[in-house]
Amino acid sequence: MADLRRVASLTLTDEELAYGVLGGDRERLDNCVITVVYQSDTPKAPRIPVAFNVLSLLDVELANRPTQVMHLGLVMVDPNARGRGFSAMLYGLTCVLMFLTGQGRPMWISNVTQVPAVAGMVAETFTDVFPSPRPDARRSFDHLSLGRQIMAKHRAAFGVGNEAGFDEGRFVITNAYTGGSDALKKTFEQAAPHRKQKYNDFCRQQLDYDRGDDLIQIGRIDMAAAGQYLRKVAPPTTAMGLTGLILLLGARMAILPLIYWLSPNRAWGVLRPAKMS
């Protein structure tokens, strides 16, 4: 906790966050995955925390079956260490590792943000993300069901108070900064822009920054998303990228079907568990 608070104190110099693990709620640690990046100038020098991500696992139901949504949660980076790709690593790598830990089962993810750079990163990293300015983005019944459950049961995971509204058509949380996340509220000019202008325009059009609105994005991490992330961080022209792609292809073609075959009592996406006698 001390490492997280150190990074947070450098990021928020005048205010403190009052929700989740940074708000002293240690029960939140029971359903969290925390990733911390450390920096050391020399092998013998002490390690200094420079970035972290708190990913929450939210219990929901889908098609009358219990499941979990990985909420991407809070990412903070020491201002002196920005521009090194830590945010993409903390979001993407942590989710890929969780996906592989789950034996390659597609998992739903959620993200709450008003920052165009983050909204665009999520839309371009994960599968079937809504809302997004991408032409293939659509709100399915699963998106709506998960959005309603998250807003009904898990507002504390991202510091949104009960007075905040939820626009189900646009997936926009209105007046979002009322439940402990007040220090994160930004103007459009303060929010980090995305390199693609369409995400900046989308956030400006959809969100009222004076009131304090957020997008709530819902998508999935699957084998396609994991491969896409790998290609971004390690292109196929590199040895690491080529090795990773070969491993992912091998998992998709051989390992995963074997796991499915040997696990007839578990649900795997559209595959339903067999009735065991």
Q: Is a pLDDT exceeding 80 seen at residue 263?
A: no
CATH of the domain at 101: 3.40.630.30
Range of the domain at 175: 2-225
How confident is the model over 94-152, as pLDDT tens digits? 787 777 777 677 889 999 999 999 999 899 889 999 999 999 999 999 999 999 999 99
Both 63 and 98 in a single domain?
yes
210-260 pLDDT, tens digit per residue, is 999 999 999 998 877 877 776 665 444 444 444 555 455 555 555 555 555
Residues 187, 263, single domain; the answer is no
Instruction: Please count the CA atoms within 13 angstroms of the CA of 95 that sit on its side-chain side.
Output: 32
Tell me which residue of 183, 191, 169 sits closest to 119, measured CA to CA: 191
pLDDT of residue 227: 74
**Residue 254 shares a structural domain with residue 133:** no
How many structural domains comprise the chain? 2
Is there a single domain that holds both residue 42 and residue 71?
yes
Instruction: Judge whether residue 270 has pLDDT over 60.
Output: no
All residues at 6 or more sequence positions from 157 whose CB lies less than 8 Å from its CB, including other chains: 20, 28, 56, 58, 71, 73, 150
**Pairing state between β 32-39 and 127-130:** unpaired
What predicted TM-score, i.e. pTM, was given to this entire model?
0.77
Sign of the CA dihedral 50, 43, 230, 59?
negative
Cα separation, 22 vs 36, in Å, equals: 14
Residues 156 and 272 in one domain: no
Residues 119 and 158 in one domain: yes
User: So what's the pLDDT on residue 277?
Assistant: 47
Say yes or no: 132 and 12 in one domain: yes
Q: What are phi and psi of 160, to 5 degrees?
A: -110, 130
Residue 78's pLDDT is what?
81
Same-domain pairing of 189 and 211: yes
